[in-house]
Each structure stands twice: as structure tokens, then as C-alpha cells.
Amino acid sequence: MAPREARVVVTGLGVVAPNAHGAIPFASALREGKSGIRFHPHLEASGFGCQVGGIPEGIEAIEARYLGEEERRAMNRNMVFAAIAALDAWDDAGLARSPGGSDDVDWGAGAIIGTGIGGIDTVAEKLAPKVDAGKVGRLGSTMVEQIMSSGNSARVAGLLGLGNQVTTNSSACNTGTEAVVDAFLRIREGRAERMLAGGSEGPSKYTWAGFDAMKVLQRRANDRPAEASRPMSASAGGFVPGSGAGILLLESLASAERRGARVYAEVLGGYVNCGGHRMGGSMTAPNPHGVRRAIQGALSMAGVPAQSIGAINGHLTATFADPHEVASWSAALGLPPSRMPLLHSTKSLIGHALGAAGGIECVASVLELFHGFVHGSANCEDLHPELTAYAASIPHRTVERPDLRVLAKASFGFGDVNGCVIFGKLGG
């Protein structure tokens, strides 16, 4: 007989976001509709059309509290964001850190911390200039660990003595959500007791430049940063690039109960897939059938009816795809516009953090569920004409929802990849 599948819960949250650092300040920032989007002169100087972005503030001033000097010398921003969010999530869950230099390895705990583009700042600012100047011998010892895709999760493993699976996934803008799904499945199957899961992304202009060149970034609001990110708006002009890290500590319910841990939420279901670049899908556009299958797959695993979903934290980036995404939600759930749950976009406040987006937005989703609110989706008072039928379901300001029991979170990425997670209140 197959072993019974474990129930999985969220017991810790860590977030480094453009509008807040830490779960409690982040929850407040979401409630208050605080924007983390700023004008950045260095983008103007580099000839970007989009000169606004979301960069976590004040992190340099606090990172010495988290990391030793030797570690910091070997870490780029992507890795620092991941480490701070992971350590915060671990502490938030009430877990003790294995002291550095000890031989304690936590064989039951692992990490899946993804990134979309990762250490490109290291490549552009350190590796390439020295190599091109014939100074390979001056690179030092830390290049590989900073440019290897798994640098963020590898560093976290060392900080905490993790002994289970430690890896970095990458599926473009679906990365963080995919990490949560994969970690959830690993615990569910009994292969790990607890996993740090989410994503991180540095704020490098080299990461953002390619998107700017594609003309998919917002370039019409450089003088109005807080209004720049406009998901679901008729005047949406592309996404605003963001950065940061969002990491959840997932744990078997049995382990959480044994420890007497606070439970934020239960992960009821999760699903990832790809649209195969067919049926309207491509490298840069989603196959709507794939999107619907991902949502329905997560819902099916969760075993809850579509009507029970109280809120959707969408991917909703402020590109042409927003109306298509909303239509896909409606079709996947089998609910007409008039009966749709609350729809909102965390990107309206922090921009699109790429490989970190799913992680940060899963943290937002869990906080909303735990505290019983749905944050306002900013800058869509002028709703896109294809979304007018959904107007009653799109909150512009934060609404209290103490009865919120189930929330759906999805992410979609270049490569036609999709991910969906269903979070529920424990005992919900």
C-alpha cells in the first residue's frame, strides 16, 4: 500500500520586496497600498525607455546582520536577497539555525529557491570585463559560486546546514511559483519534512535591458513611478521591472503539529505545465489551454470547488496578456464574470520581480489569507475595456475578508510555462 500523502502547511515567511522587508512590514505595505516603484537615474543614463523599477531599499544597511564578511564578498544581489528571505522564513517558523562551523546537518530540510536570470550583474560587472582585459588571474575565487544558477540555494544550504534536496529551478516568470509547487510535492510524497521554497532576482540593469529592448516595459510613466505599474488598466503600458526574494517555509502538517508551530496556511494543491508553444502559445505568449489546465490541475488536487475560491492573486503584469489571463481564470473555474472571486495584482505595487515574482506573490497570498484581507489592485481605475464585466471583482483599495478560506495564486512565464497553487486556511 502506498504511504499516505502528507498534508503540507506554511509555517514561515521571508520576503525582500521593493515596498517592504519582512512579513509583517510587507503585510502592512500591501494593506496600505504602498508602492515600491521608484525612478532610477542609472536606467535613464543607460538609455532605457523604462526608467522606473522596483528595488528593495535599505538592504545593504542590514545585510551584515545576516551574513559574515567572507560570505558577502562572494554574493551578488540575487544571492543576498535569497539568503535574507530564507533566513527570515526559517526564523519566522521558529526553527533554530545550525551554527556555522558545527557538524549539524538537517537531513529532513531542503530548499528549492529559483531565479530567472540570476547572477548576470556578476557576469557583466566583474567576470566579462576582467576576462576581456586578459586578467583571468584577477577574478578571485568567487566567480563560479556567484554565476552558477544554483548560487542562491547553495548559499542558503550552507547558512542553515540543509541536508535534503537543495536546488535552483528556473522557469522564467513562473519560477517562484514552480518552486513552491515542487517543494509542496516533495513534502507531500514524504521525501522531505520541510523545504524553503520560492525565488529571488537581483535588480541588475543587465537583467532588465533585454525586456526594455523588447518594448514590453512601461515607458510612459517615468515621472509618475507609483502609477507606472498598471495591471488590468486600459492605459497599461507594459510591466515595471522588479526584484527581491520571497521564500516560504513549507512543512508537513505532522511536523508543524509536533513542534507546535504557527500555521499560516495549508497548501491544498499545486500544478505546473507548459503550453507547448502551440494553440496560440509561443516563447513569449501563453497557450490559453495550458493556462486553464494548470489552474484546473491545482484545483483538482486541492479537491475544492471553484466557488470556494475567495480571491485570485493573478500573474497580471500590465501587458496585453492581462485580459486573456482573466478570461482563462473565468473559463478554468467555470465561473461567469459576475461570479468571479476577487482578482488582484501584487505587481501593481512592486512591479514584476521576474524569477522572484511567484515567491513574493505567494508570500503576499499567504499573508492575505492568514490576516483576512485582499489588497487593492492599484492603478486600474480605468479598467481595460475587456474587463469591465469583472469590475465588481477587482478591488482598487484593500478590502477586509476575515472569511477568506481559499486563495488561488498563479504565475505564467516565457517559454509558455504555467504554475498554480491553491492555499487554504488550515481546517478551512
Partner 1 sequence: MMQEQVFQKVVSIITPFVKAPEALATIGMESSLVKDLKVNSARLVDVVLEIEDTFGMAIADADADRVKTVGDAVRLIQAAQK
Residues lying near partner 1 in the complex (CB under 8 A) are found at: 68-70, 73, 100-101, 138, 140-142
Residue (159 or 343) nearer to partner 1, CB: 159
69 or 132: CB nearest partner 1: 69
Point out the catalytic residue in the list 21, 40, 289, 352. Answer: 352
Residue 162 per-residue DSSP state:
B
Nearer to partner 1, 136 or 213 (CB): 136
Q: How far is the CB of 137 from partner 1 (least distance, A)?
A: 8
Work out how close the CB of 135 gets to partner 1 at its nearest, in angstroms, rounded to a whole number.
11
Q: How far is the CB of 67 from partner 1 (least distance, A)?
A: 12
40 included as an active-site residue: no
Residues 6 or more apart whose CB falls under 8 angstroms from that of 381 comprise 233, 396
Find where cell 526584484 sits: 243
Strands (E), 75-176: 109-115, 166-167
First CA to last CA distance, the chain: 29
Q: Which of 21, 40, 289, 315 is catalytic?
A: 315
Which residues, 6+ apart, have CB-to-CB distance to 22 below 8 Å?
14, 15, 88
- Nearest approach, Cβ of residue 161 and partner 1 (Å): 14
Question: Which of helix, strand or coil describes residue 232?
Answer: coil
By beta-carbon proximity to partner 1, the closer residue of 140 and 190 is: 140
Q: Closest CB to partner 1 among 102 and 338?
A: 102
* Catalytic residue flag (residue 173): yes
Options 50, 173, 274, 362, the catalytic residue? 173
Q: Please answer whether residues 54 and 36 qualify as being in contact, where contact means their C-beta atoms are separated by less than 8 angstroms.
A: yes
Minimum CB distance to partner 1, residue 136 (Å): 12
351 in Cβ contact with 36 (< 8 Å): yes
Closest CA to 229 of 342, 319, 167: 319
Axis-axis angle for helices 77-92, 151-160 (nearest 10): 40
Residues annotated catalytic, as ranges? 173, 315, 352
